[in-house]
Amino acid sequence: MKVFAIEKWDGNEWFLVCGVVLVYLALWLIPKRLPSSTTLLLCTWAFTVSKFYDFTFGGGLFDYYDVNDSPRYCIMDLASYFFYAPFGYFFIYLYELWKIRGRWTVLYIVGWSFVGVGIEWIMDCFHVIVYKNGYLLPFSFCIYLASQSLTLLFYHWISSSKK
């Protein structure tokens, strides 16, 4: 199918291939702290949230950035969603490992929002994300604040429903 064809193979594709391998290797190697069902739900949640933002802000409604080499979707766009998926798990993994509670939760969410912007900056350097129409990287900080907050709410909801 032509819509999924890669126009050229360069740094952004290599970044995504290496990034996907590294994040899933980390997911596999770190000690398990959460049930497999929770892990799957958190990864699916992060995959879905990243796809939602790409379809809302990256295309369709606002068209503020392109993923990879063109505004058309290719198979590597799918790889970018898989790249983001484990970060939902890592976010909750450390939240539970460090037993973050109370006012520390706000600082934790802010810290992870900076991590998200940092990863996005690296992705910008490799041209995985190409901004346009006046969008700037600092705008993403608010998106990460919302995403991390919703991820934590989602985690508490699925955790309470298992009891």
Residue 61 phi, psi dihedral angles, 5° rounding: -65, -50
Give residue for tokens 């900076």: 114
Report the share of the chain in percent with pLDDT over 90.
Answer: 77
Q: Which residues lie across from 131 on neighbouring strands?
A: 65
Confidence label for 2 from pLDDT (cuts 50, 70 and 90): low
Taking CA atoms, 154 is separated from 24, 35, 162, in Å, by 22, 15, 13
- pLDDT beyond 50 at 9: yes
Dihedral sign for Cα 37, 42, 47, 52, please: positive
- pLDDT beyond 70 at 6: no
Instruction: Tell me what pLDDT residue 75 has.
Output: 82
- pLDDT beyond 60 at 3: no
- CA atoms of 124 and 64, how far apart (whole Å): 13
Instruction: Tell me what pLDDT residue 1 has.
Output: 47
Segment 69-97 shows an average pLDDT of 90
Cβ partners under 8 Å of residue 139, min gap 6: none
Least confident of 16-25, 66-75, 89-98: 66-75
- pLDDT beyond 60 at 13: yes
Q: What is the DSSP string of 89-133?
A: HHHHHHHHHTT--TTHHHHHHHHHHHHHHHHHHHHHHTTSEEE-T
Per residue in 97-152, pLDDT (tens digit) is: 999 999 999 999 999 999 999 999 999 999 999 999 999 999 999 999 999 999 99
Q: Where are the domains of the chain?
A: 2-161
Instruction: Tell me what pLDDT residue 59 has.
Output: 81
Segment 32-46 shows an average pLDDT of 96
Segment 3-23 shows an average pLDDT of 85
